[in-house]
Structure 1
Amino acid sequence: MIPTSLARRKFLADGSLLLLAAGCAASNSACDLLAADAPRPLVRAGIVTDLHYADKPAAGSRHYRETLDKLAEAATYYEKEKPDLMIELGDLVDAATSIDEEKKWLARIYRELAALPGEKHCVLGNHCVTTLTKAEFLEGVEQKQPHYAFDRGGVHFVVLDACYRADGEAYGRDNFKWNDANIPASEVAWLKEDLAEAKGPVVVLAHQRLDVKNDHGVKNAEEVRAVLEGSGKVLAVFQGHSHKNDLREIGGIHYATMVAMVEGSGATSSGYSLVEVYGDGAIRITGSRQQKSYDWPAKSSGQ
């Protein structure tokens, strides 16, 4: 039997994936060696967005009732992958005609989300607070704050809330226009202080987009991006709201807009993903259905 250390050096010297495949076919030892050498992510997070669940007929391309079946399919995937976190990037529920009905819809969809593996984090979306207040929505998803930060596996996560009008008034009870999204000065100040104290790489979670100037963008996004870039710690921003895959890099930060689950009819018209963050700053996104996959290598120290 070849000592493990020698086998490892031989494999690294050969550098051949074909030889590795042949070794795996012949013996489990080569596969075990590969597993030992493969870097392990610091944290693994499932991400879904824009579920817009509602017990009402479809409107245009949005098939509200089908969200339950789409989420059930995603649940099967996440039960296998066992992510550390489950993140919902906003618009978990669509607007109802009454507060009581909205609370029932929210309870129904959150029951399904809560059953998924990993701790849960919900970003506030504009549809979440069209009928409800922020306090009512947060109570429904067992969450205390609309914006906050937390650490898992050496990664610092920041949850932002852009559901404010330009005059600083919080969204709630249909008192806003969907394209007037802002992050108030107090939250920007909190963000700057939080990032200054953050240890390790940072991932930001948002609903409205921070990388565009159109109706789907946060009005003071440039100000917020300056804070993110100034910290020198932010690897990526994951966001929803515009329902389509999009990816931009601004100031060395990846801005990934994730595809909506509600769009289209049938199982193939869905999207969900698994995000893995590595110690060297690399991030891998494995997308399912309509969600695109990405593989972002670590940045060199000179970048």
Structure 2
Amino acid sequence: MTNDNNHIRLGRRAFLENGTLVLGVASLSSSTLLADDEAPRLKVGLVTDLHYAEKAPAGTRHYRETLAKLEEAARKFEQDKPSFLVELGDLIDAADSVEVEQRYLKTINRPFSAICQDRHYVLGNHCVDTLNKDEFLGGVEQAKSYYSFERGGFHFVVMDSCFRGDGEPYGRKNFHWTDANIPTHELEWLEADLEISDKPVIVFAHQRLDVSNHHGVKNNADVRKILQASDKVLAVFQGHSHQNDLKEIGGIHYCTLVAMVEGSGIENNGYSLMEIEPSGTIHLTGFRKQESYEWEHQG
């Protein structure tokens, strides 16, 4: 099930290795990272853009087929036993009524929640197309739409970009998907959260923090400024644009994961397992359509 692409190894300097471009990454101070290189890797399961819905395919999106694709991912995660699971947004697709959208959510979250007890959901624009945020979060038993937590000596941040430019939260079809923003109060929270953390950081987002097109958060330059100023962020994982992509900005790698909903058949599945070494090196093993990467920390 692993894709056929070689791991793209990302280190401090840019050079070619077996024809693969190896990009540079900013070095964190050695005191920020754990010293025990023999400690086990922290494993994290990642999926994004399942768009589950009980409706016919539209273009390249095959909504019903995500159930079978998720089942394959669940079998792989059962073998690898990640410490926690992250869904990077758009777990469900849009519906015409609250009742129908809640049914979509219950149907897909039943097998998803069975994979791992420790789960984290990033809000995507489709998650709150007809539902409001409280209804979606209540359906997945998650208290907040943005927050941070720590596992295995690392600090993780879940972001919520589902706000209009005027600060109103998405919900009940009150927004256009290109108007994604992180409001001032969340930016202030993010800055304070990173300041008090003494651990290396990984960020999870739905709308992209690295592009200025329709898939990007409109004020993502403000977000990146906070992330870079902290000098603690190893990487950002995001979804939304449905295709593999990787950018390096200010010493931080922004990794966009492929959507599970795209393409018919199990061969068009996409999901990944992230493994983090105590040294700060990150290995992302992609399956099916998901690319694999490796960020090498050289402190």
How would you bin the TM-score normalised by the shorter chain?
0.7 to 0.9
Q: Is the 8 A contact 1:158 1:204 kept in 2?
A: yes
Partner of 1:262: 261
- CA distance, structure 1, for counterparts of residue 258 and residue 39 of structure 2: 26
Q: Is the 8 A contact 1:82 1:118 kept in 2?
A: no
Q: Is the 8 A contact 2:37 2:278 kept in 1?
A: no
- CA distance, structure 2, for counterparts of residue 214 and residue 236 of structure 1: 21
CA deviation after TM superposition for structure 1 residue 299, in Å: 3.5
- CA distance, structure 2, for counterparts of residue 42 and residue 172 of structure 1: 38
- The one-letter code sitting in structure 2 at the alignment partner of 1:62 is R
After TM superposition, list the pairs within 5 Å mapping 1:1-303 onto structure 2: 39-300=38-299
- CA distance, structure 2, for counterparts of residue 121 and residue 238 of structure 1: 13
Per-residue Cα deviation, 1:199-232 (whole angstroms, up to 9, x for no partner): 2110000000000000000000000000000001
Per-residue Cα deviation, 1:141-167 (whole angstroms, up to 9, x for no partner): 110000000001111000000000001
Partner of 1:15: none
CA deviation after TM superposition for structure 1 residue 97, in Å: 1.2
- CA distance, structure 2, for counterparts of residue 158 and residue 296 of structure 1: 19
> How well do the aligned residues superpose, as a CA RMSD in angstroms?
1.2
- CA distance, structure 2, for counterparts of residue 179 and residue 83 of structure 1: 33
**2:284 aligned counterpart, secondary structure:** strand
- The one-letter code sitting in structure 2 at the alignment partner of 1:127 is H
- The one-letter code sitting in structure 2 at the alignment partner of 1:188 is L
Q: Is the 8 A contact 1:52 1:91 kept in 2?
A: yes
Partner of 1:10: none
**1:268 aligned counterpart, secondary structure:** helix
Which structure has the larger Rg? Answer: 1
- CA distance, structure 1, for counterparts of residue 117 and residue 279 of structure 2: 23
- CA distance, structure 2, for counterparts of residue 186 and residue 151 of structure 1: 22
- CA distance, structure 2, for counterparts of residue 232 and residue 42 of structure 1: 22
- CA distance, structure 1, for counterparts of residue 37 and residue 83 of structure 2: 19
**2:273 aligned counterpart, secondary structure:** strand
CA deviation after TM superposition for structure 1 residue 198, in Å: 1.0
CA deviation after TM superposition for structure 1 residue 278, in Å: 1.4
- CA distance, structure 1, for counterparts of residue 298 and residue 180 of structure 2: 32
Q: Is the 8 A contact 1:42 1:155 kept in 2?
A: no
Gaps of 5+ in 1: 1-36
CA deviation after TM superposition for structure 1 residue 280, in Å: 1.3
- CA distance, structure 2, for counterparts of residue 247 and residue 125 of structure 1: 20
- CA distance, structure 2, for counterparts of residue 195 and residue 287 of structure 1: 28
% identity of equivalent residues? 59
- The one-letter code sitting in structure 2 at the alignment partner of 1:50 is D
Per-residue Cα deviation, 1:229-276 (whole angstroms, up to 9, x for no partner): 000100000000000000011111110000000000000111000001
- CA distance, structure 1, for counterparts of residue 54 and residue 295 of structure 2: 38
Aligned length: 264
Give the TM-score, by structure 1 length.
Answer: 0.85
**1:229 aligned counterpart, secondary structure:** helix
Partner of 1:32: none
Kindly report structure 1 stretches of 4+ aligned residues shifted beyond 2 Å: 37-42
Per-residue Cα deviation, 1:64-109 (whole angstroms, up to 9, x for no partner): 0000000000011000000001100000000111111110110110
CA deviation after TM superposition for structure 1 residue 40, in Å: 4.3
**2:43 aligned counterpart, secondary structure:** strand
Q: Is the 8 A contact 1:42 1:154 kept in 2?
A: no
